[in-house]
Structure 1
Amino acid sequence: MLELKLAMYIDFPSHMRPGILVTCSDDIELYSTGLTETITFDKPGFTALAHPSDVTVGTTHGVFVLDPSGFSGEGGLEYTSCHRFLHKPDVETMRRCGAVCVRRNSSHLNSLADHSDSEVDSEYVYTDSIFYIDHSTAKQLLAFYKQIDTLCCEVDAYGDFLQALGHGTTQDYTKNTSQMTKEESQLAEVRQKLCSLLKGISLNVIVLNNSKFYHIGTTQEYLFHFTSDSKLKFELNLLPEPFSISSDKADTRSASIIQSIVEPGCFVGPGSIIEYSRIGPRVLVGKNCIISGSCINLEVDIPSNCFLSSLSVKLDDQVKYVSMVFSVEDDLKKNVELLSDTNSLRFFGVGLRECLDLWGVQLSNQLFSGDNSRFGLWTARIFPVCCSLSESVRMSLSMLNSVQRMSAFTLTGFKLLSVEEMLAYKDVEDMLKFRNQIHDEICLQRQKDKSGL
């Protein structure tokens, strides 16, 4: 992903004054400009790219309310200013604030933007992707950070910076914490200070009408774009098995195998993704699964719609292993305020309290990491710490099997971690070591194949 980002932005530095370019790791922007058109970041303040998107897409992203006096909506590239920035607004808010545009004639948009003649007179909005902060403004933000000394809440570079910009902005957003996974008492205060700091700073927008914004940050989006006949897959010429070992005797039709070793006798269901993993010969992977960083060397059927991700963690200076397992449809962001409501949290369609009973785990405040102000799957300490990668996979799949069969599987005696803690204790060096082992084995096998051995 890093290489792809660098390739997409390769022309930017030569047309950019000193400053900072902010981008996300889970989106891809493809665009086309005319031979004489150049994307230039040379204005003071903030400068953001804007892409035409369906109105429904705007509800989960940032949306620009563009200044109508300086914007025509025609041509491949256009520089304008932003009246106001909306962060994940509902459709009614977008309409009320004037963010919704009507496409009268789509003939000037090429196929990259995914518009056709049938979409004439359809509604759309301009959504965000990357943005640039000039050096002077970046210094102001750095001084603000030093003044605060210690941040006690999460500041969103998109929602908390961009919403403060534009001459049509208000301070109403500073008190809105509905889109936060955890409400933090100091967030409103920090937002108000940021709003005052950034007041009057311009938000310039580079409108890319011939562009397409792809978000791959959710499990469903990841599966769709990398395994189906998606436009992204076509435009980037994505291969189904890039740099992997997959025997002819391993059935991997309609799946995506990324830097992995899939041994003969393994079956990978359609629409599934295997990445940075070693899958043994007696493994059956169902449909629409994501298997990441795992070593599976036992005879097992992995059910469809399964998300399995293994991590190395460092605890007391020792490397251990934990594997998280969920349904790709589980809502890891959902929280409840009372322990009595935790059964509304669904693990593969089953209430969390029912799962805990099957695993012999007691429900209490101590079961959850964090400050215990809210409870969710993200902070539930349910995944056992193991001494080997393959053992951690076996334990987590056994947990899942017990839930699906409604049979007991005890976790007594194991240290349990939440997803939140797994990421905090993650040992990246050891995880890269496992990836490099797979990489070296693939290289060796390719050399043997070339030499006919």
Structure 2
Amino acid sequence: MHFLGKMMMSSAADVLLQKETRRKLEQFDKIRGKKVQTGEFWDIVVITAVDKQQEAAYQQQLCKKLQRSELPLGVQYHVFADPQGAKIGNGGSTLYALERLELLYGEQLDHLAVLLIHAGGYSQRLPSASALGKIFTALPMGNPIYQMLELKLATYIDFPRHMIPGVLVTCADDIELYSTGTNEIKFDKPGFTALAHPSSLTIGTTHGVFVLEPSASLDYQDLEYRSCRRFLHKPSVQLMHQAGAVTTRRDSEWSSLKGHGGEMTRVNSEIVYTDSLFYVDHSTAKKLLAFYKELGTLPCEIDAYGDFLQALGTEATGHYTKNTANVTTEDPQLVNVREKIFMLLKGTQLNVTVLNNSKFYHIGTTKEYLFHFTCDEKLKAELNLQSKTFSIISRKAASVCVIHSILDPGSSVAPGTVIEYCRLGPEVSVGENCIISSSCIVTKTNIPSSSFVYSLCLNIDGQQMYATISCGLEDDLKRNVKSLSEIDSLQYCGMRFLQCMDLWGLKVSELMFSGKSTRFGLWNARIFPLSFSLSESVMMSVGMLNTVHSRSPFKISDQRLLSIEEMLSSKDVEGMLLLRCKLFEDISVQL
């Protein structure tokens, strides 16, 4: 969980931000299912995917949304999967998307406003978004229910009307809220234009930080256009100070004192300005596309923020090209590609739009997801998030979020938990801080606190079957080890993995892990039972959770077991959407 813009803001600024956000949401609701006019909205919306299978899943969901009139019409919606081969990162996805758009639209593209949303990846930190995508994450708001795609389109609704043709690049798992007073955010300058948010220095270490020219005014405006000297990618606090990125902000807050009508108090805060989304005009996009074509095949991952924006600014240098500290997988060709990008973009303008009254929320992890949907009173007020959204639930539960679900009156859900696309029977008890998604639980059961449960519909050898991912909320699904001898360093629900396997009656072997990789982790461990029934699938996987908590054996060795990796490769998207559709019908009858 984090915020960009954790500064002290007056209640008036908070109210203004909420008011502006509500206006955008209301404006978007008016055009859902209606044909928009040229210049009124985006001409093209592109969603990137990591592979062809994810592309097909996204296409199916887009088609369903358009059929149900959940999106504006008259817009060209596309999904582009990354080319086969080595991972290319969101920077590579940006370049590839530009190539695909040019093939489709040719010179017409020079006159169009494009929204490019990076939604590739398998969402290992929020597995409930793994099968159907982070951009299709359900939100506790809207009628019909908003997913992240609708929220993106709503919060950016003013942008196309104040934009010269170009491409706006954003990610699928963050929310930007802002108020600009009487001014409008304009994307009308050549080169790159990035939004910047006031942030603590701690937040700055995990984001991009702008080194801005000093402001000519001592008063902070909601919106300021500033020149940028340099862009830092995930810098240390020391580097932020050395580069001149840190500024002291005087925050004003009125407080009523006894015997006085009011007194102004001043608080000085050290802040930096951090990134979120950015815009590229078409002439600069063409330059990037020409580079991509000349390169032929992109041999490594590049980052749209770290590798594009660090090349910009009046004081940009090529030193960053050799810094691989923030790179997940270091490729020997990365430095060479970075150097070429730096030479290509050197001298290109970086315009920064500072949003002093803004918020940035990230919901890409289980912890962030739970906090923002159950406990975060700020975000609830700003987006009017509900504890119950299009659901049948008879009892009120504090700090619980229920989305598109049916809960029997006899069921119980503890605080801090999110239930989405589920059916819970009368004797089902869910503990605190859980995520329960796409599951049908009709048999008496107790789900332990801090559990993650997510069911998938699968196509196995042409037959519809089910499997359910279950694990602890703290489990690191991205972590893996290089040899079987290191397996015991993995943990499942806080217990050593070998202990868990012993309780489940499983033996360690390379066959227990899927894929051709020589790395072993919870992501590719074949530990989840396959079943012909959705409810039986859930019960088997919940039984695995309970046996770890109770330390009593629960044998699954006689079952056919799948890894999460295998479940995603066999997912039946149509089957999952049909289950949601049937749930929709049953809820509609009862509401």
Give the TM-score normalised by structure 2.
0.67
Matches within 5 A, 1:147-162: 147-151=294-298, 153-162=300-309
Aligned to 1:394: 539
- Give CA-to-partner distance per residue, 1:220-246, whole Å, 9 cap, x none: 121111111520111222111011111
Distance of 1:421 and 1:73 partners within structure 2 = 56
- Find the counterpart in structure 1 of residue 527 from structure 2: 382
Identity of aligned residues (%): 60
Deviations 1:92-111 (A, max 9, x none): 33233322221134469xxx
Matches within 5 A, 1:417-432: 417-432=562-577
The separation in 1 between residues aligned to 2:486 and 2:265, in whole angstroms, is: 47
Structure 1 equivalent of residue 445 of structure 2: 300
Q: Secondary structure at the match of 2:531?
A: coil
Matched, 1:43 2:189: yes
Q: Secondary structure at the match of 1:391?
A: helix
CA 1:437–1:132: 2 relative to 1, 3 Å: same
Task: Name the counterpart of 1:266.
Answer: 411
Q: Distance in 1 between matches of 2:384 and 2:249?
A: 30
Specify whether residues 298 and 18 from structure 1 end up closer, same or farther in structure 2 by C-alpha distance, changes over 3 A only: same
Q: 1:62, CA displacement in angstroms? A: 2.2
- Is 1:341 aligned with 2:491? no
Report the Cα offset of residue 185 of structure 1: 5.0
CA distance in 1, matches of 2:253, 2:566: 51
1:309/1:324 contact within 8 Å kept: yes
Q: Counterparts of 2:567 and 2:271 in 1: how far apart (Å)?
A: 40
- 3-state SS, counterpart of residue 506 of structure 2: coil
Is the Cα contact below 8 Å between 2:434 and 2:449 reproduced in 1? yes
Secondary structure in 2 matching 1:407: coil
1:26 maps to: 173
Counterpart of 2:44?
A: none
Q: 2:354 aligns with which of 207, 216, 227?
A: 207
Structure 1 counterpart SS, 2:525: coil
Report 1:8-407 matches (<5 A): 8-35=155-182, 37-68=183-214, 74-106=220-252, 120-151=267-298, 153-248=300-395, 252-369=397-514, 372=517, 374-407=519-552
Offset at 1:253? 3.6
Gaps of 5+ in 2: 1-147, 255-263
Q: Cα distance 1:247–1:313, how it changes in 2: closer, same or farther (>3 A)?
A: same
| Structure 2 residue aligned with 1:113 | none
Counterpart contact for 1:288–1:304, Cα < 8 Å: yes
Contact 1:182–1:374 (Cα < 8 Å) also in 2? no
User: Equivalent residue of 1:426, what SS?
Assistant: coil
Distance in structure 1 (CA, Å) of the matches to 2:361 and 2:187: 22
Evaluate the alpha carbon distance shift between residue 209 and residue 303 of structure 1 in structure 2; reply closer, same or farther with a 3 A threshold. Answer: same
After superposition, the Cα gap between the structure-2 partners of 1:246 and 1:419, relative to the gap in structure 1 and judged at 3 Å, is same
> After alignment, is 220-229 or 337-346 more displaced?
337-346
Residues 118/24 of structure 1: CA separation in 2 closer, same or farther (3 Å cut):
farther
Call closer, same or farther: CA 1:148–1:313 in 2, change over 3 Å.
farther
1:438: how far off?
Answer: 1.3
The residue aligned with 1:439 is 584
Q: How many residues align?
A: 436
Alpha-carbon shift at residue 141 of structure 1 (Å): 3.0
Spell out, residue by residue over 1:332-355, the C-alpha distance to the aligned partner (whole angstroms, 9 max, x if none). Answer: 333444443332222111122332
- The more displaced of 428-437 and 165-174 is 165-174
* Change over 3 Å in CA distance of 1:328–1:90 after alignment to 2: farther
Counterpart-to-counterpart distance in 1, 2:479 and 2:213: 36
What do residues 126-154 of structure 1 show as CA deviations (whole Å, max 9, x unaligned)?
A: 12111112212223333444444444544
Equivalents in 1 of 2:347, 2:424: separation in Å? 56
Tell me the secondary structure at the aligned position of residue 368 of structure 2.
Answer: helix
Change (3 A) 1:444 1:417: same
The Cα RMSD (Å) is 2.8
Letter in 1 for 2:379: L
Cα distance, 1:170 vs structure 2: 4.0
Q: Deviations over 1:63-116 (max 9, x none)?
A: 2222337786721111123322223333233233322221134469xxxxxxxx
Describe the SS at the equivalent of 1:422.
helix
More off after superposition, 196-205 vs 227-236 = 196-205
Change (3 A) 1:77 1:369: farther
Q: Which amino acid aligns with 1:285?
A: V
Deviates more, 1:275-284 or 1:423-432: 423-432
Cα-to-partner distance string for 1:359-378 (whole Å, 9 max, x where unaligned)? 34343445445553544333
Change (3 A) 1:266 1:92: same
Pair 158,13 (structure 1): closer, same or farther in 2 beyond 3 Å: same
SS at 2:389 equivalent: coil
Counterpart contact for 2:391–2:403, Cα < 8 Å: yes
Deviation at 1:267, TM superposition (A): 0.3
Q: CA deviation at 1:3?
A: 1.7
* 1:159-207 deviation digits (Å, cap 9, x = unpaired): 3332333343444444444445544555444444433433332222110
Q: Distance in 2 between matches of 1:252 and 1:314?
A: 37
- The residue identity in structure 2 corresponding to 1:222 is Y
8 A contact 1:385–1:417 mirrored in 2: yes
CA distance in 2, matches of 1:328, 1:118: 42
Partner Cα separation in structure 2 for residue 266 and residue 339 of structure 1: 41
The aligned amino acid for 1:397 is: V
What CA distance in whole angstroms lies between the structure 2 residues aligned with 1:118 and 1:376?
53
Check the 8 A contact 1:56/1:91 in 2, yes or no: yes
Contact between 2:448 and 2:545, CA under 8 Å: does it hold in 1?
Answer: no
> Does the C-alpha gap of structure 1 residues 445 and 69 become closer, same or farther in structure 2, counting only changes over 3 Å?
closer
SS at match of 1:68: coil
Relative distance call for 1:184 and 1:368 in structure 2 (3 A) is: farther
Higher relative contact order (CA 8 A, sep 6+): 2
